[in-house]
Structure 1
């Protein structure tokens, strides 16, 4: 974690915020080749949080790994089985346990006998405070349990492919990206996406974890990311620096709203996210809460009791 002065100062070199790319043809139900031994199949589950749908990836040729099978969706399952026809599925890798990514793993495992690998079951980034409820509890696949839990950097492989697990908590506590290290390819799931920033919503997510995960990925200097929604991230180092700048700007915006007299998260959201789709203001409030949790932990902001959506905040 950087020091408070570094966190609040202008970014070195005036790094730009990311240029989000919203051009994307999902080709629902059709297998789209992306690179040698890498193809994408997008679920037809568009929405404000899923963009044009969840991306499932197939890695390998004769024996393959399926990354993020997706939700329980009959059309997607049939399209996936057609794409896998004549090939052995040895592994099913799950990036995290939101219901648009993991539930179909159970049916795919039953059909193929593949091993399910992931960081672990669903869990919050921190315990719930007394009286607190989890606003995203219904979106969590709490029944998910991998056959094999993966440590950071742990490798699993098949015929012609070798993937390593990259723990990237922040969006969820159990979020994991997967890397074809010898090719500079990372399947970044919901941690880094070209079309929008990732939701960081306590208690499932944590802003400090998210920022640390960005820093870890920046150290790698990979060539291309294939995310959980939308199209590829073509220049990961530049995009990651932009995301880091964007989050720091959001943090400064939260601090500025408090300095201007805002005490409640709802008041901050109305100003900071004035141009954002109102359907996303609930998620925006949770993102502001994630920043406030981090700011309280740093000693820059205070509130009575633990940080909460309904709490009142002031500069320390």
Structure 2
């Protein structure tokens, strides 16, 4: 796991590129690392705010201080998990800017457990389609559809700079959690392949440090997921197993706080393998398909 300097610069404005600044939200956790990083793209002539983060008063104040008198052209969200998009509405109210980016998401028709990670109040003024561009003074951002971690996930390419804002799709500190039913392992791997085919210079994820060798990291992530898939098939060939037992064998010594995330990703692999006819279910247990 990559380490960042402590104390973490919560609420401070950091200039990371000529046109890019970031502000860290105070929501660090085992799931978010040091917290959600909100990126400000542009200069005093007009800004885009990417992933405004949680609806936290201190974070909103920090963003408004960083924005200052500059007009906000758009507030963009990569996806609608609760650590990314809830601040969009109060920031829009404070600045008058439209909320643009990913589509809204309705996951389960009201199941509280399934819906818990999602910002169901997110209401964009405009949804960006794959490949659609948004321009401001001196910058153009292009939406890259990258479903998998979330079905509505977008990355944003800052044209002419080699910069890609990757949200939660690719992070340097950990692999993304893929949690069904909204998360989809097949989509996630296809989206990784899509990014690997690009030639971006650097990734700025919503959590953790910048990724300075993006294609190498993405290639490793694809390989890691294929290894996990092969591991599942090998274990099930030896014996049937329920999900918790599989995770215990696959992730020996894992910190208790991360077991839930590991279970979700293994579940996503199992669902993908089942769709492909490679595994099946026998009651609560998973088996190699006959």
With the length of structure 2 as denominator, give the TM-score of the two structures.
0.95
Superposition pairs for residues 189-204 of structure 1, below 5 Å?
189-204=167-182
Superposition pairs for residues 129-148 of structure 1, below 5 Å?
135-148=113-126
Given candidates 236, 256, 265, the residue that maps to 1:287 is: 265
Deviation, structure 1 residue 23: 3.4
Name which of structure 1's ranges 221-230 and 136-145 shifts more when overlaid on structure 2: 136-145
Secondary structure (helix, strand or coil) at the match of 1:23 reads coil
Aligned twin of 1:84: 67
Aligned twin of 1:60: 42
Where relative contact order (Cα < 8 A, 6+ residues apart) is larger, the structure is 1
- The whole-number CA distance in structure 2 between the counterparts of 1:246 and 1:137 is 28
Say whether the 8 Å CA contact 1:164–1:181 is kept in structure 2. yes
Name which of structure 1's ranges 173-182 and 270-279 shifts more when overlaid on structure 2: 270-279
1:239-293 per-position Cα deviation (integer Å, ceiling 9, x unaligned): 0000001111111111122122142111001111122211221221111110011
Say whether the 8 Å CA contact 2:155–2:165 is kept in structure 1. yes
Say whether the 8 Å CA contact 2:38–2:49 is kept in structure 1. yes
Cα 1:134/1:246, change in 2 over 3 Å:
farther
- The whole-number CA distance in structure 2 between the counterparts of 1:138 and 1:149 is 23
1:182-241 per-position Cα deviation (integer Å, ceiling 9, x unaligned): 111000000000000000000120000000100111111100000010110101110000
Say whether the 8 Å CA contact 2:148–2:183 is kept in structure 1. yes
Aligned twin of 2:250: 272
Aligned twin of 1:217: 195
- The whole-number CA distance in structure 2 between the counterparts of 1:24 and 1:177 is 26
Say whether the 8 Å CA contact 2:177–2:265 is kept in structure 1. yes
Secondary structure (helix, strand or coil) at the match of 1:93 reads strand
Name which of structure 1's ranges 22-31 and 78-87 shifts more when overlaid on structure 2: 22-31
Aligned twin of 1:13: none
Aligned twin of 2:276: 298
Given candidates 275, 284, 287, the residue that maps to 1:311 is: 284
1:61-105 per-position Cα deviation (integer Å, ceiling 9, x unaligned): 020000011101111111110001121101000011011100000
Given candidates 3, 14, 26, the residue that maps to 1:44 is: 26
Name which of structure 1's ranges 247-256 and 204-213 shifts more when overlaid on structure 2: 247-256
- The whole-number CA distance in structure 1 between the counterparts of 2:158 and 2:221 is 22
Superposition pairs for residues 140-219 of structure 1, below 5 Å?
140-219=118-197
Aligned length: 287
Q: What RMSD, in angstroms, separates the aligned Cα atoms of the two structures? A: 1.7
Say whether the 8 Å CA contact 2:279–2:287 is kept in structure 1. yes
Aligned twin of 1:97: 80
Secondary structure (helix, strand or coil) at the match of 1:139 reads coil
Aligned twin of 1:116: 99
Secondary structure (helix, strand or coil) at the match of 1:246 reads helix
Gaps of 5+ in 1: 1-19, 305-309
Say whether the 8 Å CA contact 2:147–2:191 is kept in structure 1. yes
- The whole-number CA distance in structure 2 between the counterparts of 1:123 and 1:210 is 19
Given candidates 17, 23, 38, the residue that maps to 1:35 is: 17
With the length of structure 1 as denominator, give the TM-score of the two structures.
0.87
Gaps of 5+ in 2: none
Say whether the 8 Å CA contact 1:37–1:61 is kept in structure 2. yes
